[in-house]
Amino acid sequence: MAKQQSSMGFFFLLMLALLILFDPRLRASLATIVDYIFFPLFGFNYQYPVLTIFIAGSIVIVISTIIRHFAIDWIEMAKMQHIVSSFQKEYREALRKQNKHMIKKLQKMQVDIMKMQSQLSAKQMKLMPITLLIFVPVFTWIWGFLENTPHYYFDTPWATHISFFRTSFIFPNWIWLYMLLSIPLTQIVQYILRLKWERKR
């Protein structure tokens, strides 16, 4: 019952987030509120939009990664990874030897392992509403910021004068740029936090 309520709460927040993102009036209202804080700090008077996207995205990444790091039971996750790795190794060996008895036994174990993985994923899903509460305001602000910037193009090592708002592979280019800048930072922050945690352990 609690799991069902948690899922319903997440999907409600997800639908609310989509409504805000794709309703121009709601998006503009939320972006205006965030603008009072963000624009004086790193708006750079619209002169460096790529740097602005990187800094704004970094705020989301750092905060959400820190929350995730301290909310997840890393020992439990490490145990799960070890169980899955051992299972896959034994299963491959059983297939190689065509050991039908062992294959059948491992297939029964696989059901329990998948259940454990599902429970672990459900715990991680509980963090999604918090992430959305951080992500949506910043995302709407970046969107509004770029709509007001006089610089509608950015350059990359492989192409020049790429429009922020031209759609490439479903999403506008500025969203791809956001992801391109944020994914490496996510890995770096996670690595640093995990390294510090392992040293303490």
Q: What is the pLDDT of residues 104-136, one digit of tens each?
A: 888 888 888 888 888 777 777 777 777 778 888
Note the pLDDT tens digit of each residue in 11-61.
666 677 777 777 778 888 888 889 999 999 999 999 899 899 999 988 888
**Contact status, residue 10 vs residue 130, Cβ threshold 8 Å:** no
pLDDT for position 160: 81
pLDDT for position 36: 92
Note the pLDDT tens digit of each residue in 182-199.
888 888 888 888 787 777
Helices (H), 23-161: 24-42, 49-71, 74-97, 100-125, 128-148
Q: Which SS3 state, helix, strand or coil, does residue 47 take?
A: coil
Note the pTM of the prediction, 2 decimals. 0.73
Q: Which SS3 state, helix, strand or coil, does residue 72 take?
A: coil
- 181, pLDDT greater than 90: no
Give the CA-trace dihedral at 165, 166, 167, 169, to 10 degrees: -120
pLDDT for position 2: 43
Exposure string over 161-182, b if 16+ CB within 10 A, otherwise e: ebebeeeeeeebbbbbbbeebb
Residue 162, amino acid: I
Token duo for residue 34: 């965030």
All residues at 6 or more sequence positions from 18 whose CB lies less than 8 Å from its CB, including other chains: none
pLDDT for position 193: 81
**What is d(CA 67, CA 60) in angstroms, rounded to the nearest whole number?**
11
- 3, pLDDT greater than 70: no
